[in-house]
């Protein structure tokens, strides 16, 4: 019989690794709470339509990466490939705009894209993201970019590059599209197959194509910043001034377009420059999407957000000293005491201690071996004499130092360490 394994590109996280995930998530939650973000939790499954209409038909995600199936009721459903569309759907569905002129949401969770798996690229991956509805920017845009930099820095990730660009609003895109098409058409036959196919529908895609022949042509393409409408140009200037004022480092990258169709004006990406992931891996992508809410049937509302790829952060994050996951390990001298040991362990847990015990009834030696292997700094020994006296022998495993303490004092003593 074939061995059962997890689905290709989808990984398990075992308890030892979960500790690092907690650090990523806890740091994110603590930071965004300081800015007033509240958590939104949307279903992992949405109607396919939502993603087609928001992310765009001629994008890699919608064309070839979504996990889509027909439900028994003949409705097309899709595992969410990202969080922005789902959050916007929820924001519209619950008429949040009617109650709050500006809302700030965050999410942490798995996303699904059927990409070719590689280091840092998975089919189930985790994003931590923020979305702000109702503020047209550009100051909130700068604050959001700065938040991402602060988050990465809190994790010890400093070797990064922040790229910013503006896609303009209104007719900018149309005028730029025309100019770009005019430039690209004569090169059409030299483009990659994907880009040739999309050329007329979505020429901006050529700019972020990874195919070397496309990149060579994109090099000399007209730049969108030269086509910005006046208001968008001012918006972009103000964004840069605000970033400068905060001391947030950035680089203007006029060819940055990103692979989703919903963006308008501010666009940004944070790339890591070192670590296991190699140079230029996108750690975070974000931008403004002022038309999406209206296009999905909601009120005309500006919005901006970002999503950070947590799997990728794990690969570039400096390891911190692993924290022990236990405070004490209970060792029981004599099988008959196991019932009493349970009660002692419970008492210590009630007092806030993290305590484990080996209740299989093995020898002292084998119990001490497990205590040593556990991350607990203390072994807590319960024998007949201790049970009688209401005490425990508290042995520090690293030094061998031992003292007998009344059970009521044990929790304090081992947690103080």
The residues of the shown chain that bind ligand HAM, judged by CB under 6 A, are 82-84, 113, 115, 120-122, 125, 127, 129, 131, 258, 260, 282-287, 305-307, 309, 311-312
Q: Pick the closer one to ligand HAM by CB: 187 or 288.
A: 288
Q: What are phi and psi of 85, to 5 degrees?
A: -65, -45
Residue 218 region, left (φ>0) first, then alpha (ψ -120 to 50), else beta?
A: alpha
- 109/334 with CB nearer ligand HAM: 109
Q: In this complex, which beta carbon is closest to ligand HAM, that of residue 236 or of residue 306? A: 306
Give me the least distance between CB of 363 and ligand HAM, in Å please: 47
The minimum distance between CB 382 and ligand HAM, in angstroms, equals: 48
| Cβ-contact 134, 302 below 8 angstroms | yes
Q: Is 48 left (phi over 0), alpha (psi -120 to 50) or beta?
A: alpha
Residue 309 vs 328, nearer CB to ligand HAM: 309
Instruction: In angstroms, give the least distance from the CB of 29 to ligand HAM.
Output: 17
- Tokens encoding 246: 């905060």
Give the nearest distance from C-beta 260 to ligand HAM in angstroms. 6
Write the Ramachandran bin of 173: left for phi over 0, alpha for psi from -120 to 50, otherwise beta.
alpha
| Nearest CB to ligand HAM, comparing residues 298 and 377 | 298
Give CA–CA dist 79/58, Å, rounded: 18
Q: How far is the CB of 30 from ligand HAM (least distance, A)?
A: 20
What is 253-322 written as a DSSP string?
Answer: -TT---S-TT-EEEEEEEEE-SGGG-TTEEEEEEEE-TTHHHHTTS-S--EEEEEEEHHHHHHHSPPPPP
The minimum distance between CB 93 and ligand HAM, in angstroms, equals: 18
3-state SS of the chain: helix, strand, coil percent to 5?
45, 20, 35
Q: Which is nearer to ligand HAM, 43 or 339 (CB)?
A: 43
Pick 162 or 260: Cβ nearer ligand HAM: 260
Residue number, 305 or 377, with CB nearest to ligand HAM: 305
Q: In the complex, what is the shortest distance from the CB of residue 149 to ligand HAM, in angstroms, rounded to a whole number?
A: 14
Among residues 263, 276, 353, which one has the least CA distance to residue 311? 276
Least distance to ligand HAM from the beta carbon of 304, Å?
A: 7
State residue 10 phi and psi, 5-degree precision.
Answer: -125, 125
Shortest distance in whole angstroms from residue 81 CB to ligand HAM: 7
Q: Which of 129/275 has CB closer to ligand HAM?
A: 129
User: Which residue has the CB atom at the shortest distance from ligand HAM?
Assistant: 309
| 374 strand-pairing partners | none
Q: Are 129 and 289 in contact (CB under 8 A)?
A: no
Select 283 or 411, whichever has its Cβ closest to ligand HAM. Answer: 283
Q: Which is nearer to ligand HAM, 54 or 172 (CB)?
A: 54
In this structure, what token pair is assigned to residue 83? 């969080």
* 169 and 264 Cβ atoms separated by less than 8 Å: yes
Residues whose CB falls within 8 Å of the CB of residue 328, separated by 6 or more in sequence, listed in order: 348, 353, 354, 355, 376, 377, 378, 379, 380, 394, 410, 414
Distance of closest approach, residue 2 Cβ to ligand HAM, in angstroms: 26
101's CB contacts (< 8 A; 6+ apart) are: 134
From residue 196, alpha-carbon distances to 192, 200, 206 in Å are 6, 8, 9
Q: Are the CB atoms for 284 and 308 separated by under 8 Å?
A: yes
Per-residue burial over 191-213, b if 16 or more Cβ lie within 10 Å, else e, is bbebbbebbeebbbbbbbbeeee
| Min dist. Cβ of residue 61 to ligand HAM (A) | 7
- List the one residue out of 91, 23, 44 whose CA is nearest residue 325: 23
């Amino acid at each position: 019989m074939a061995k059962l394994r997890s689905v290709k590109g989808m990984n398990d996280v075992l308890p030892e690794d979960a500790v690092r995930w907690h650090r990523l998530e806890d740091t994110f939650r603590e930071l965004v709470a300081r800015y007033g973000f509240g958590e939104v939790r949307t279903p992992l499954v949405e109607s396919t339509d939502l993603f087609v209409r928001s992310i765009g038909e001629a994008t890699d995600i919608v064309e070839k990466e979504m996990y889509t199936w027909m439900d028994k009721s003949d409705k097309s459903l899709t595992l969410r490939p990202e969080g922005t569309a789902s959050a916007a759907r929820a924001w519209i569905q619950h008429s949040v705009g009617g109650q709050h002129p500006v809302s700030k949401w965050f999410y942490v969770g798995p996303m699904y894209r059927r990409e070719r798996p590689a280091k840092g690229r998975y089919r189930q991956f985790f994003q931590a993201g923020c979305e702000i509805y109702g503020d047209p920017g550009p100051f909130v845009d700068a604050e959001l970019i700065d938040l991402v930099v602060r988050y990465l820095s809190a994790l010890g990730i400093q070797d990064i590059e922040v790229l910013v660009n503006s896609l303009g609003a209104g007719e900018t895109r149309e005028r730029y599209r025309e100019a770009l098409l005019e430039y690209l058409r004569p090169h059409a036959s030299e483009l990659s197959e994907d880009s040739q196919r999309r050329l007329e529908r979505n020429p901006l895609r050529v700019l972020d194509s990874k195919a070397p022949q496309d990149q060579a042509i994109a090099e000399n393409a007209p730049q969108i910043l030269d086509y910005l409408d006046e208001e968008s140009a001012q918006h972009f200037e103000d964004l840069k001034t605000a970033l400068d004022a905060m001391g947030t480092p950035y680089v203007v990258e006029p060819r940055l377009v990103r692979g989703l169709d919903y963006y308008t004006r501010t666009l940004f990406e944070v790339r890591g420059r070192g670590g296991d992931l190699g140079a230029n891996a996108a750690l975070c992508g974000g931008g403004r999407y002022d038309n999406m809410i209206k296009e999905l049937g909601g009120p005309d509302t500006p919005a901006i957000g970002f999503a950070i790829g947590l799997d990728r952060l794990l690969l570039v994050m400096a390891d911190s000293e692993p924290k022990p996951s236990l405070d004490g390990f209970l060792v029981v001298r004599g099988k008959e005491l196991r019932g009493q040991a349970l009660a002692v362990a419970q008492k210590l847990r009630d007092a806030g201690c993290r305590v484990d015990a080996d209740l299989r009834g093995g020898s002292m030696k084998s119990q001490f071996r497990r205590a040593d292997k556990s991350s607990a700094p203390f072994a807590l020994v319960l024998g007949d004499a201790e049970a009688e006296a209401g005490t425990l022998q508290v042995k520090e495993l690293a030094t061998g130092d031992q003292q007998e303490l009344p059970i009521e004092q044990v929790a304090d003593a081992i947690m103080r360490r």
